[in-house]
Amino acid sequence: MQVHRIVLAVSLCAAMPAFAQSSADLSLWRLDCGTGAKPVTIAERFSDTYAYSPDKQLPFTYSCYVVKHGNDVMVWDTGFVPGSNPNAPKVSLTDQLGQLKITPDQVKFVGISHFHADHTSQLPSLPNAQLLIGKGDWDGITAKPPMGGANAAAFTHWISGGGKVEPLTLDKDVFGDGSVVVMRTPGHTPGHSSLLVRLKQGAVILVGDAAHFHENYESNGVPAFNYDRAETVASLDRIKKVAANLKATVIIQHDPRDIGKLPAFPQAAH
């Protein structure tokens, strides 16, 4: 009888998913990294199939995120520098981290969805963080001259060897327990990434700019400014399958309709 119980226990373990839920405390905050000064006309730049009428406008937001895993801190996307343009945030990333009692030195990883300025401009305020970025984007940043649209200046510290960088060709299991994964979702840029955070309350996917708003996400819509159409569509398909399998909440970082999917700062989701 004893033997049978042991066998049963072993077979149950074997049936568990490869990555069990993390035992470390995991929290996720949304930070305001900018507010669109006025609604954006989406027909021209945000559809390569003439999907929207010329007068359709949508408001945009700009979001950064903080993940805390045990005592380790990761920042996801860094937004514009305050005061740099009409869409820029009023409060800096470091000041918002300060409200969470996190100093820039404590930030161990900074993950970047892609190299555009609205996601990377406050990178220099996190010089001690290891940079996690898709290799395609890193190659675009370090090319001479840099690829069009790449905000290479923000990466100077890492390009010069002053900071650690890990150019990703595969998904990156950031903390080694499957709880936080930088997913390869190329297309918008060559090395575009999304972030999966498997909170206790349920999984969340931060999609970067794989889609900029609900309408494009739902219809596999591709912006006119986009690196590789087929890759973008495949990445949207991947995100939707991961979301279905994990019953994940999908958060479109630029869509103000998704701000309320996480608690209002400084509250966190757990």
Q: Given the rule CB under 5 A, which residues bind Zn ion? A: 118, 209
**64 versus 204: smaller Cβ distance to Zn ion:** 64
**CA–CA distance, 49 with 43 (Å, rounded to integer):** 9
Q: Reduced to 3 DSSP states, what percent helix, strand and coil does the chain have, rounded to the nearest 5?
A: 30, 25, 45
Tokens matching residue 242: 């991961």
**118 versus 258: smaller Cβ distance to Zn ion:** 118
- Which residue, among 183, 237, 230, 242, has the nearest Cα to 208 in the 3D structure? 183
Q: Measured from the CB of residue 77, what is the shortest distance to Zn ion in angstroms?
A: 8
CA distances from 123 to 64, 95, 131, 190 (A): 11, 14, 9, 20
- Which residue, among 94, 185, 92, has the nearest Cα to 134 in the 3D structure? 185
Q: Measured from the CB of residue 40, what is the shortest distance to Zn ion in angstroms?
A: 11
Q: Measured from the CB of residue 123, what is the shortest distance to Zn ion in angstroms?
A: 14
Q: Measured from the CB of residue 80, what is the shortest distance to Zn ion in angstroms?
A: 10
**209 versus 255: smaller Cβ distance to Zn ion:** 209
**26 versus 112: smaller Cβ distance to Zn ion:** 112
Tokens matching residue 71: 């005592």
**26 versus 89: smaller Cβ distance to Zn ion:** 89
CA distances from 33 to 48, 70, 113, 214 (A): 27, 24, 14, 19
Amino acid of residue 46: F
**117 versus 246: smaller Cβ distance to Zn ion:** 117
Cβ(114)–Cβ(140) below 8 Å:
no
Q: Measured from the CB of residue 263, what is the shortest distance to Zn ion in angstroms?
A: 23
Q: Measured from the CB of residue 139, what is the shortest distance to Zn ion in angstroms?
A: 20
**137 versus 209: smaller Cβ distance to Zn ion:** 209
Q: Measured from the CB of residue 117, what is the shortest distance to Zn ion in angstroms?
A: 9
**163 versus 208: smaller Cβ distance to Zn ion:** 208
Tokens matching residue 184: 């390869």
Mapping DSSP to helix (H, G, I), strand (E, B) and coil, where does residue 85 land?
coil
Cβ(46)–Cβ(221) below 8 Å:
yes
Angle at alpha carbon of residue 218, lines to 216 and 223, rounded to 5°: 15
Q: Measured from the CB of residue 120, what is the shortest distance to Zn ion in angstroms?
A: 10
Strand order in the sheet with 107-111: 26-35, 61-69, 72-76, 107-111, 130-134, 165-168
